[in-house]
A and B are shown apart, each in its own frame.
Chain A
Amino acid sequence: MTRRKIDSTLSPGFYYFSGNEAVAEGAIAAGCRYYAGYPITPSSETMERISIRFKDVDGVFIQMEDEIASICSVIGAVWAGAKAMTVTSGPGFSLMQEGIGYAALTETPLVIVDIQRAGPGTGQATRVASGDLMQAKWGSHGDYQTIALSPWSVQEMYDQTIDAFNLAEKYRVPVFLMGEEAIGHLRERMEVKPTVDIFDRAKKPGAPPFGTNQDDGIPPMPAFGEGERLLVTGSTHNEFGIRKTDDPEVHANLVTRINNKILKHRESIIKTEPYYLDDAEIIVVAYGFTARSSLFAVDRLRKEGKKVGLLRLKTIWPFADGIIHQIGRVAKKLFVPEMNRGQVRGEIMKYVACEVIPYNQTNGDIIHPHEIMKQVRSLL
């Protein structure tokens, strides 16, 4: 990771952006210079802003014919040397799943921002939800790992977009920024700092680009046109990219490594934020916009003297199993409000023995703080 002066025409300072605009600026600050996308509500503002702002930074923007083409052209650009991104919402995210699996197997670093809307199907295109989390984990076929982040503010739409690029480059993996409509369209003050920490992909000419000696290793990544005569394939391949479609050992080793390289490094990937956990009897576990409402509710309840805490998940995948296990041992109950039917609650229950109370709202609205206060009070 190197710290450098921000490479963007945006001067450091405070801005009043929407979340979707902040994603565009975060991507430019992170060094993203290729963007392919397809219009979809409620995410399109990012693509519109990129189409204008890329002219300032010599980036390549293309509006493709669909989301399948978008993800595929992003992968092509990444292998040509780009840091690249696409932004979408549920139906587009569904169309991208085959490409995501291809990126996972070929260890292609890229960033996908999913501004989640109310599904399934076309659902409610302009309304909020948080229903794509399991899709981010399991959307493509086969066994693989990705990284998924969950921002709760416009500032984090900017910061976590930069984090997403750094994580993608470091681990050679697709990284998802799981925004929600409410954050995408929220406008609030955010800061552009004068410097930014950037991770650039490791290069080692001549070294195998698809294998290491470690079972959790991340190989260096050359680009097309560097004379490496690369062989990139979505079929099972050996460390030099040669197809090995019936060799059990090569397949087992490859699948193990692309899982281990994330899971074995999860302690350094996962970010959480604790609030009032020390003596909390009831701990709210929340993420995204719902964590904002939850913090407001928990602050109020604390002022009333209630022993309530909040664990905020900034990383959804890999899952924060360690700290969830810990809080499950000290808290009497966990309360999990979600704008879905309990996708993260199910995951939490794998790691705790205490009671895990769900609050699931799928009506296209955010979960308001007073609702969380009401629910938590009924548990005290």
Chain B
Amino acid sequence: MGRDLEKYLRPEVKSTPFCPGCGHGILMNLILRAIDALELHMDEMLFVSGIGCAAWIPSPNFNADTLHTLHGRAVAFATGAKMFNPKLKTMVISGDGDLASIGGNHLIHAARRNIDLTVICANNMIYGMTGGQVASTSPVGAITSTTTEGNIYRPFDLCKLVLGAGAPYVARYSVTQPVSLIEAIKKSLTTEGFTFVEVLSTCPTQFGRRNRYDSPADMLTMLKESCISKQEAEQLTPEELQGKVITGEFSDGGA
């Protein structure tokens, strides 16, 4: 992370808690770059996170008000804080298990109510912190510590889910698309109402080592190869789309 971003970090926190090769460090960097580009003041920000690796992106690293909550409930906590004090610029940062499995109900209801929150979902397609169990976002066939013969269930399309609940801004990018991702986070922060950015991240420790991505670079390469734009997707047949992940803005906040 650039030295110019250190002003956004708590001085007493010296290192990131993430495993070597984890994609969440890239995301942490990109969130701060978006905040920096918008010249937001940390005294006006409230970061809310749940439980899991991604919840550690803001807590305790970001030098702002942070609320590190129960597993799955970050959006509900954030709803209370934002409703009572609408001046708090409130960003929820958490993982796919936290926001979409145990907390899925809160996610869709906050989107339905159009609460003015920015929700960043770091999706590494697995439960990293607890030892690599299958997630509701794991691809079919993924080997995990609870699907040793491969995951048999379809993964959630989180963007479609939140879009269906009526969120005005919904986007998906991978940590391998940093420039687009910074722009999406900026847009999510400046769009009024419930905004959602799904960030495809990597977990070499729990996902990679079980699924033949032998190094962190292999996982990043996999993301680079499987992520395609909406425009590219339109040119492909359903067969060619197998295994691809469509990235881009799925609702642009009316801009």
Contact = CB atoms under 8 A, between A and B. Distances in A.
Partners in one complex: yes
A68 B73 contact: yes
A62 interface: yes
Contacts of A224: 46, 65, 67, 81, 85, 88
Contacts, number: 124
A152 B70 CA distance: 35
Nearest to A98: B70
Given A65-B105, A84-B80, A225 B59 contact: no
A237 B82 CA distance: 24
A72 B69 contact: yes
Interface in B34-70: 42-44, 46, 48, 59-60, 63-70
Nearest first, the 10 closest Cβ-Cβ pairs linking A and B are A76-B80, A73-B80, A72-B76, A77-B80, A76-B77, A233-B68, A76-B81, A69-B76, A77-B84, A80-B81
6 contacts: A34-B83, A60-B84, A64-B109, A76-B84, A235-B68, A243-B68
Nearest to B41: A227
Contact of B12 (A99, A234, A242): A242
Given A227-B43, A229-B10, A229-B64, 16 more contacts: A62-B83, A64-B76, A69-B105, A69-B109, A72-B70, A76-B80, A76-B82, A78-B80, A80-B81, A81-B85, A84-B84, A224-B65, A225-B87, A225-B88, A229-B63, A233-B66
B44 A225 contact: yes
A241 B58 CA distance: 13
A330 B66 CA distance: 54
B106 A80 contact: no
B78 interface: yes
B84 A229 contact: no
Contacts of B82: 76, 80
B76 A225 contact: no
Tell me the dominant secondary structure on chain B's binding face. Answer: mixed
A76 B106 CA distance: 14
B79 interface: yes
Interface string A267-303: 0000000000000000000000000000000000000
A27 to B, nearest CB: 15
A34 B67 contact: no
B42 A76 contact: no
Chain A contact residues: over half helix, strand or loop, or mixed? Answer: mixed
B204 to A, nearest CB: 23
B66 A231 contact: yes
* Chain A residues touching B, range: 35 or more
A78 B76 CA distance: 13
A122 to B, nearest CB: 20
Contact of B59 (A36, A78, A233): A233
A290 to B, nearest CB: 35
A362 to B, nearest CB: 32
A60 B42 contact: no
A227 B88 CA distance: 11
Given A66-B105, A224-B67, A75 B85 contact: no
Residue in A69, A98, A228 whose Cβ sees the most chain B Cβ within 10 Å: A69
Contacts of A81: 84-85
A280 B198 CA distance: 70
B85 A73 contact: no
A80 B87 CA distance: 10
Contacts of B63: 229
